[in-house]
Structure 1
Amino acid sequence: MKLNNLQILRGISALLVCCFHFRETINFPGLNLGDILFKKGSIGVPVFFIISGFIMVFTTQNLPFSKGTIQQIVLFYKKRIIRIIPLYYLLTFAAMIPGGSFLLYFHREGFYELIHSLLFLPTKKGFPVLYLGWSLNFEMFFYLIFGLSLLFKKKRYYFIICFFILTSILGYNLSFENPYLQMVCNSLNLYFVAGIIFALLLNTYEIPKNFAAAISLVGCISFILILLAIIPIDNEWTKLFFISLFVLSFLTFDYTFRWKGNRLLIFLGDISYSLYLSHPFVEIALKKCNSEFYFSIPFFLIKIALAILLASLLYFFVERKITHYLKIKLKI
């Protein structure tokens, strides 16, 4: 089964994050249009987390444990490593170059920050060298726990759901100074759990079309209202509910309505990882370009177009090629 609409959602989420970071371009004197439209664009990140939780179940639900549990765990980690690390490492080193700061990352605090970035370990500073990598710290921790859950075979989902619920409760009741423990016990991990639950439910039950239509309508409208800050969501549980409902809306497009999706939007989903990680470089390249207010919207669109172009180049000439090469070398 092809999850074209979920792939489209991945692209939309990456684009939202781009717009969130580019929004200052269209903040006019007396009218902060960028903030009005995209101040909440960072919610694209928890959408990614839900998608990751869903995809991990979707792609591993029929694992042949007869071949050996340890072998399956090793294979799982190999696949995640070649999917995440190559492009992230490349862009991390690229992020060290602007401002002539490359050598500073090989000395004292800079070296500490670089090592933690490469090992996906959070620091008290809060952000790695490539600042968007903070979300990959969560992703890689999720993959670590998901891989370990394979030891429990058919009961693995009970383990991982209980683990993240318990750690979130722990984080809610206790305050940790250690940045790694803060991440482990962060409620953001519950978005992965939401994705896992959706995968288990949709692989077991079929949602009637009338009910799916209602979910889609409420999910999409509420997400737009939240994005525009018309509906404020300061409560983490309310935020979790509405963002999860939005993702479920796109899942019904695949599972209930069987929509094929638009090819261009699917392609945007294909390049979403490259788009997410590389779009800050467009901002760096154009930071000295000041546009008059009447040219701000076209300049904003140019930034988006350049970000998509850069992501496309990275996807075709780096991401796909390196992944293909490593799959052959690692015999995956």
Structure 2
Amino acid sequence: MKLNNLQILRGISALLVCCFHFRDTINLPGLNLGDFLFKKGSIGVPVFFIISGFIMAFTTQKINFSKDTFQQITLFYKRRVIRIVPLYYLLTFAAIIPGGVFFLYFHGEGLYELIHSLLFLPTQKEFPVLFLGWSLNFEMFFYLIFGLSLFFKEKRYYFIVGFFILTSILGYIIHFDSPYLKMVTHSLNLYFVVGILFALLLNKYTIPKNWAAIISVIGILSFILVLLGIIPIDNDWVKLAIISTFVFSFLTFDYIFHWKGNKLLIFLGDISYSLYLSHPFVEIVLKRFKVEGYLNISFFLLKIVLVIMVASLLYYFVEKKVTHYLKIKLKA
């Protein structure tokens, strides 16, 4: 089954994060357009987490446990590393070149930060070397636990859902100083759980079209209202409910309504990982150009176009080619 609409949602989420980081460009005198439209654009990240949880459950539902379990887990980890690491490592090293700080990352505190970034381990600093990597720290931890859950075979979902619920409760009770324990017990991990539950639900039950339509309208409208700051999301549970309903809306487009989706939007989803990680570099290059007044709107759109172009190149020449090569070499 092709999940075209879920792929489109990937692209939308990546663009939201881009617009969130570019929003100052269109904060015009007397009209903070960027803040009005994209101040909440960072919610694209928890959308990614739900999608990740869903995809992991979706792609492993029919896993053959008659084979060696350890071999299956090794294969799972190989595929996740091949998917995430090459582009992230490339752009992490690219991030330390500007500003003449390259050699600072090969001794002392800089080396400590670089090693932790490459190992997807958080530090006391809020962000890793490539600042967007903070979300990949969560992703890779989720993959670690998901891989371990395969030891439990048919009971794996009980383990992984129970694990993240218990650690999240622990995070509410105890405020850890360790950055790693903060991540392990963070409520953001619950978004992965929601994705898993959605996969199990849609695999087992068929939702009536009228109910799916109502959920979709509520999910999309409430998400837009959150994005525009009309509905506040200071409460973690309200935020979780709205973002989850929004993602579920796109799943109904695939599962219930069977919409094929637009090819250009699907492609945007294909390049979403490259787009998400590479867009700060476009900002670095263009920040030396000064544009005034309403020309900033055109400048903002130019940034988006350039980001998509850069992401497309990275997708074709790094993601696809390197991934294909590593799958052959690592037998994944």
**TM-score, normalised by the number of residues in structure 1:** 1.00
Q: Equivalent residue for 1:139?
A: 139
CA distance in 2, matches of 1:4, 1:282: 28
Counterpart CA distance in 2 for 1:38 and 1:24 is 10
- Matched residue SS, 2:120: coil
Q: Distance in 2 between matches of 1:75 and 1:221?
A: 40
For 2:190, what is the secondary structure of its paired residue? Answer: helix
Aligned residue in 1 for 2:77: 77
Q: Summarize the alignment of residues 132-171 of structure 1 with structure 2, pairs less than 5 Å apart.
A: 132-171=132-171
Match of 1:285 in 2: 285
Residue 305 of structure 1 and its aligned partner are, at CA, apart by 0.3
Q: Secondary structure of the residue that 1:192 maps to in structure 2?
A: helix
SS in 2 for 1:311: helix
Equivalent residue, structure 2, for 1:239: 239
SS of 1:22's partner is helix
Partner of 2:49: 49
Matched residue type, 1:56: M
Deviation by residue 1:113-135 (Cα, 9 ceiling, x = unmatched) = 00000000001101000000000
Whole-Å Cα distance in 2 between the matches of residues 330 and 108 of structure 1? 33
Using the aligned pairs only, state the percent identity: 78
Aligned residue pairs, count: 332
1:60 aligns with 2:60: yes
Q: How does 1:79-158 map to 2 (within 5 A)?
A: 79-158=79-158
Does the 8 Å contact 2:28/2:294 carry over to 1? no
Give the Å deviation of 1:167: 0.2
| Distance in 2 of aligned mates of 1:36 and 1:257 | 32
Q: Secondary structure at the match of 2:91?
A: helix
* Residue ranges of structure 1 left out of the alignment (5+ in a row): none
Secondary structure (helix, strand or coil) at the match of 1:222 reads: helix
Residue 294 of structure 1 and its aligned partner are, at CA, apart by 2.1
For residues 56-99 of structure 1, the C-alpha deviation after alignment (integer angstroms, 9 at most, x for no partner) is 00000011111111000000000000000000000000000000
* TM-score, length basis structure 2: 1.00
Kindly report the root-mean-square deviation, in angstroms, between the aligned alpha carbons of the 2 structures.
0.4
Shift of 1:107: 1.5
Cα-to-partner distance string for 1:238-269 (whole Å, 9 max, x where unaligned): 00000000000000000000000000000000
Q: Distance in 1 between matches of 2:167 and 2:96?
A: 34
Give the 5 Å matches for 1:220-259: 220-259=220-259
Tell me the residue number matched to 2:216. 216
Distance 2:46 2:277 in 1: 15
Q: CA deviation at 1:233?
A: 1.2
1:193-224 C-alpha deviation (Å, 9 max, x unpaired) = 00000000000000100000000000000000
- Cα distance in 2 between the residues matched to 1:68 and 1:203: 25
2:282 counterpart letter in structure 1: V
**Counterpart code for 1:131:** F
Is the partner of 1:293 in helix, strand or coil? coil
Stretches (4+) displaced over 3 A: none
Matched residue of 2:321: which SS?
helix
Say which SS state the counterpart of residue 130 (structure 2) adopts: coil
Q: Distance in 2 between matches of 1:104 and 1:206?
A: 56
